């Protein structure tokens, strides 16, 4: 009989590959669109989830985002069974605690941050989280453009630190980027890959580079679309139609920019221009700056490249 108290290197390897002590209790800090989406898919896959926010209003908003999305999923998933469709959202919501108490991270196998894209705020948050957790907890960031090594700069547990980058809308987008820094341990990486798969995502691995895989390609592409429009080569509508019908993209660059948020894209670009001034693909188009200055942030503010209030363009 196998003696479970003794761990050989082979057994350790087998255990880490099979997701031994796999993650089943997750804390998501930040209940915006991304954090709520992550909480939803984690709970739907059977995890116990905490959503941590700074006030009741933000928690209520997170719960509303998740409820609405779960109802959309249920409508699709249980087309022919209205009673199952009706009970789906409440049954998943039961797995999620909405709280302002950061102390709940104590019992989590994974603490994932999805707060504002501010390096100092993220570093400060993880300092607090480290004090509240033990070294069995994995710490991860859903940052879209900040390097993980910078967020982990002051961490005493760099081997447990990684990036988990999800895509909007999280319940629909199948991809999860798993980012290891030079100090992330193989064990942490494997646990995150296993967890990502367990919540139904297709995981890809990327080094800790600006924008990882998707944003590194996507954001310069969006920029080229805006520059094309600024030069007067084609209208926003025609560029969008062209990329949807000519390249098979679900949204054109302007629809997607509005969907992601023009402030988010501007922030990513400004950080890259500052930190990598010699990279020719990192430029800030004037139109993007102007729209953000005017408060036109895309779908969420009612207008961006397109106008959503009047459903016009």
Peptide bond into 169 cis (omega under 30): yes
Give me the catalytic one of 165, 180, 301, 303.
165
Query: Measured from the CB atom, is 130 or 240 closer to ligand 3HC?
Result: 240
For the beta sheet containing 48-52, the strands, ordered from the edge strand earlier in sequence to the opposite edge, are 96-99, 48-52, 25-29, 110-113, 138-141, 161-165, 175-180, 202-207
- State the distance between the two ends of the chain, measured CA to CA, in whole angstroms: 70
Q: Which of 142, 215, 301, 303 is catalytic?
A: 215
Tell me how far, at minimum, the Cβ of 237 lies from ligand 3HC, in Å: 16
* C-beta of 13 vs 168, nearer to ligand 3HC: 168
Rounded to 5°, the CA angle 55-147-99 comes to 15
- 144 noted as active-site residue: yes
- Residue (of 119, 120, 95) closest to 28 by Cα position: 95
Q: Return phi, psi of residue 133, to 5°.
A: -120, 170
Which of 131/273 has CB closer to ligand 3HC? 273
Q: How far is the CB of 248 from ligand 3HC (least distance, A)?
A: 11
The number of C-alpha atoms within 13 Å of 46 and in the hemisphere containing its C-beta is 9
At closest approach, how far in Å is the CB of 187 from ligand 3HC?
Answer: 26
Length of the chain equals 313
3-state secondary structure 258-291: HHHCHHHHHHHHHHHHHHCCCCCCCCCCHHHHHH
Interior/surface letters 7-17, b for 16+ CB within 10 angstroms, e for the rest: eeeeeeeeebe
The conformational region for residue 234 under phi > 0 = left, psi -120 to 50 = alpha, else beta, is beta
Q: Minimum CB separation from ligand 3HC for residue 16, in Å?
A: 28
- Please answer whether residues 176 and 162 qualify as being in contact, where contact means their C-beta atoms are separated by less than 8 angstroms: no
d(CA 247, CA 72): 28
- Kindly tell me which of 44 and 105 has the beta carbon lying closer to ligand 3HC: 44
Q: Which is nearer to ligand 3HC, 138 or 264 (CB)?
A: 264
Query: Which residues make up the interface to ligand 3HC (CB under 6 A)?
Result: 69, 72-73, 75-76, 144, 167-169, 171-173, 215, 218, 250-251, 256, 260, 264
CB nearer to ligand 3HC: pick between 49 and 218: 218
Q: How far is the CB of 62 from ligand 3HC (least distance, A)?
A: 14
Closest contact distance (angstroms) between CB of 273 and ligand 3HC is: 17
Closest CA to 210 of 127, 262, 126, 274: 274
Active-site residue, 276 included: no
Bridge partners, residue 98, by sequence: 51
Catalytic residue among 144, 145, 155, 180: 144
Per annotation, catalytic residue among 53, 117, 130, 177: 177
Q: Is 165 a catalytic residue?
A: yes
What amino acid positions are annotated as catalytic residues? 144, 165, 177, 215
């Amino acid at each position: 009989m196998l003696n479970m108290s003794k761990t050989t290197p082979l057994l350790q390897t087998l255990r880490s590959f099979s997701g031994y002590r796999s993650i089943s209790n997750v804390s998501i800090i930040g209940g915006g669109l991304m954090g709520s989406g992550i909480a939803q898919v984690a709970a739907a896959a059977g995890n116990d989830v905490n959503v941590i926010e700074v006030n009741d209003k933000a928690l209520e908003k997170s719960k509303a985002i998740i409820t609405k999305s779960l109802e959309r999923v249920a409508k699709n998933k249980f087309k022919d069974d209205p009673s199952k469709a009706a009970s789906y959202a409440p049954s998943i919501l039961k797995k999620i605690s909405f709280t302002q108490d950061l102390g709940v991270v104590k019992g989590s196998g994974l603490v994932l941050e999805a707060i504002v894209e501010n390096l100092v705020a993220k570093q400060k948050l993880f300092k607090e989280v480290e004090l509240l957790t033990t070294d069995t907890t994995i710490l991860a960031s859903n940052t879209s453009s900040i390097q993980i090594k910078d967020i982990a700069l002051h961490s005493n547990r760099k081997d447990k630190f990684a990036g988990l980058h999800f895509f909007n809308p999280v319940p629909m987008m199948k991809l999860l980027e798993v980012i290891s820094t030079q100090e992330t341990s193989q064990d942490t990486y494997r646990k995150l890959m296993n967890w990502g798969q367990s919540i139904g995502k297709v995981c890809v691995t990327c080094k800790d580079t600006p924008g990882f895989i998707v944003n590194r390609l996507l954001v310069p592409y969006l920029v080229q679309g805006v520059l094309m429009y600024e030069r007067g080569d084609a209208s926003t509508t025609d560029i969008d139609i062209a990329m949807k019908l000519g390249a098979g993209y679900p949204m054109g660059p302007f629809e997607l920019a509005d969907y992601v948020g023009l402030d988010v894209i501007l922030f990513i670009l400004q950080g890259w221009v500052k930190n990598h001034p010699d990279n020719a693909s990192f430029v800030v188009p004037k139109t993007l700056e102007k729209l953000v200055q005017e408060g036109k942030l895309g779908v969420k503010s009612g207008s961006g490249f397109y106008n959503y209030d009047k459903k016009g363009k």
